[in-house]
């Protein structure tokens, strides 16, 4: 696969974005009850880029991801202490923000592949049907486009009416990505999308992420350093709820500034 070479200068200072930024997180503090899960996070994500979130287990990667489309609204005891998250300039935690619209714009792919127990077709059409789209031709078109975008079309085009549970793990994960794409989001959040996949399926999903970068902004959580290095433009390293270092991926892996980052990316963390 070709190597994405990010040319932008690193942007530790979110106030002076060089390219158009789509996500801005400012002084964000987040609690689960007494647990201070995210501590004073400042982070900016560029349009049409892939940002990897890395860090040891329990450092708050998933939490941050779930804050970006307000999935944490469902969690009891969860609360934001201070700070804000801007997407396209809007503070998504403002009172007048329509959460449903937000979630349409910020899609999410979960760690465990979780197709609905419905047919492949219905899985992908679901996001459109709930918006009231009934036209068969529109749905057909969307299903085909999304499956093609998720590089799954050729494998399933003859069995769109089969139950999605019959697909292999890797196919299911790509189906979930296709399902998220169907709603036409601008940002795609992926939480360890490859953790349950074998190397072949993993590389397929990685290729997919590459091609999706053209149209989407992707934030991906991963425990796999090679994967982060392969797919992302920027990498953020978290530790104990803090953003320790955020930089162009190459810099994080080749020339980390923080000793903790260095220890982690080189596998000497302990």
Partner 1 sequence: MSKAPQQDRLKLRRSKSRQWLGFDTQRLLKLFFGGNAVIAVIVLLLITFFLFREGLSFFPQYQKNMEQYRRSGMEFTSLVNEEHERFNQLFRSLVDIRKLQIEQLTAQGLSHEEIAQASAALRERIYAFSELAVPLRNYQRDVRNITRDTYALAQADLEDEATMAQHYDNTIAALRATFSTYEEINRQLVGSIEAQLALMPDFEGTGLQARAKDFRQDAEQFIVSLPTYQARLTAWQPVKEVSLWEAIASFLFGREWIINNDGHSSYGLLPLLTGSLLVTGIAITLAIPLGVGAAIYTNQMALRGEANFIKPFIEFITAIPSVVIGFFGITVFGSAIRWLSQQSALDWLPFFPITERLNAFTAGCLLALMAVPTIFTLSEEALNRVPKIYKETSLALGANRFQTTMRIIVPTALSGIISAVLLGIGRVIGETMVVLLCAGNRIQIPQLSEGVGVVFEPVHTMTGIIAQEMGEVAQGSMHYRALFCVGIVLFVLTLLINYIAQKLFQHERVGD
Ligand X SMILES: Nc1ncnc2c1ncn2[C@@H]1O[C@H](COP(=O)(O)OP(=O)(O)OP(=O)(O)O)[C@@H](O)[C@H]1O
Residues making contact with ligand X (CB under 6 A): 32, 35, 37, 57-63, 75
| Binding-site member from 82, 131, 161, 168 for partner 1 (CB under 8 A) | 131
Residues in the chain: 270
| Binding-site member from 8, 19, 79, 112 for partner 1 (CB under 8 A) | 112
103 binds partner 1 (CB under 8 A): yes
In the bound state with Mg ion, the residue whose beta carbon lies nearer, of 42 and 195, is 195
CA distance 148 to 208: 10
193 binds partner 1 (CB under 8 A): no
In the bound state with partner 1, the residue whose beta carbon lies nearer, of 189 and 194, is 189
Q: Are strands 234-239 and 242-248 parallel, antiparallel or unpaired?
A: antiparallel
Contact 183, 104 (CB under 8 A): yes
Pattern 63-102, binding to partner 1, x per CB under 8 A? ------x-x--x-------------------------xx-
In the bound state with Mg ion, the residue whose beta carbon lies nearer, of 37 and 50, is 37
Residue 82 sits at φ, ψ, to 5 deg, of -160, 170
Contact 233, 4 (CB under 8 A): yes
Find which of partner 1, ligand X, Mg ion, none residue 63 binds, CB within 5 to 8 Å per kind: ligand X
Q: How many CB atoms lie within 10 A of CB 35?
A: 14
Q: How many CB atoms lie within 10 A of CB 199?
A: 8
In the bound state with Mg ion, the residue whose beta carbon lies nearer, of 51 and 62, is 62
In the bound state with partner 1, the residue whose beta carbon lies nearer, of 75 and 140, is 75
Contact 109, 191 (CB under 8 A): yes
Least CB distance to ligand X at residue 149 (A): 27
Least CB distance to Mg ion at residue 191 (A): 6
Least CB distance to partner 1 at residue 100 (A): 5
| Binding-site member from 27, 33, 117, 169 for partner 1 (CB under 8 A) | 117
Residue 211 in tokens: 């091609």
Picking from 248, 151, 241, 237, the residue whose alpha carbon sits closest to that of residue 202 is 151
Residue with tokens 């149209």: 215
Outline where 17-129 has alpha helix (H): 61-68, 99-105, 120-129
* Three-point CA angle 107, 108, 114, nearest 5°: 130
In the bound state with partner 1, the residue whose beta carbon lies nearer, of 108 and 243, is 108
Contacts with partner 1 by CB under 8 A lie at: 69, 71, 74, 100-101, 103-104, 107-108, 110, 112, 114, 116-118, 126-127, 129-131, 165, 176, 179-180, 183
């Amino acid at each position: 696969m070709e190597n994405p070479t990010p040319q932008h200068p690193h942007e530790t200072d979110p106030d002076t974005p060089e390219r158009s930024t789509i996500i801005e997180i400012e002084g964000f503090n987040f609690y689960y009850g007494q647990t201070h899960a995210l501590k004073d996070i400042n982070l900016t994500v560029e349009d049409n880029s892939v940002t990897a979130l890395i860090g040891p287990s329990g450092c708050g990667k998933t939490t941050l991801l779930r804050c970006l489309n307000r999935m944490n609204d469902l969690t009891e005891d969860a609360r934001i202490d201070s700070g804000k998250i801007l997407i396209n300039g809007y503070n998504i935690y403002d009172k007048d923000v329509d959460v449903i619209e937000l979630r349409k714009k910020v899609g999410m792919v979960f760690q465990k592949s979780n197709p609905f127990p419905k047919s492949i077709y219905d899985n992908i059409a679901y996001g459109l049907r709930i918006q009231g789209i009934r036209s068969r031709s529109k749905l057909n078109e969307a299903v085909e486009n999304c499956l093609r975008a998720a590089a799954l079309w050729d494998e399933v085009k003859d069995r769109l009416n089969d139950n999605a549970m019959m697909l292999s793990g890797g196919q299911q994960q790509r189906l979930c990505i296709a399902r998220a794409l169907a709603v036409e989001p601008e940002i795609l959040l992926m939480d360890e999308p490859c953790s349950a996949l074998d190397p072949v399926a993993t590389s397929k999903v990685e290729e997919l992420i590459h091609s999706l970068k053209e149209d989407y902004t992707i934030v991906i959580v991963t425990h796999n350093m090679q994967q982060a290095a392969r797919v992302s433009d920027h990498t953020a390293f978290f530790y104990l709820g803090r953003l320790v270092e955020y930089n162009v991926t190459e810099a994080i892996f080749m020339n980390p500034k923080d000793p903790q980052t260095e220890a982690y990316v080189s596998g000497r963390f302990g």
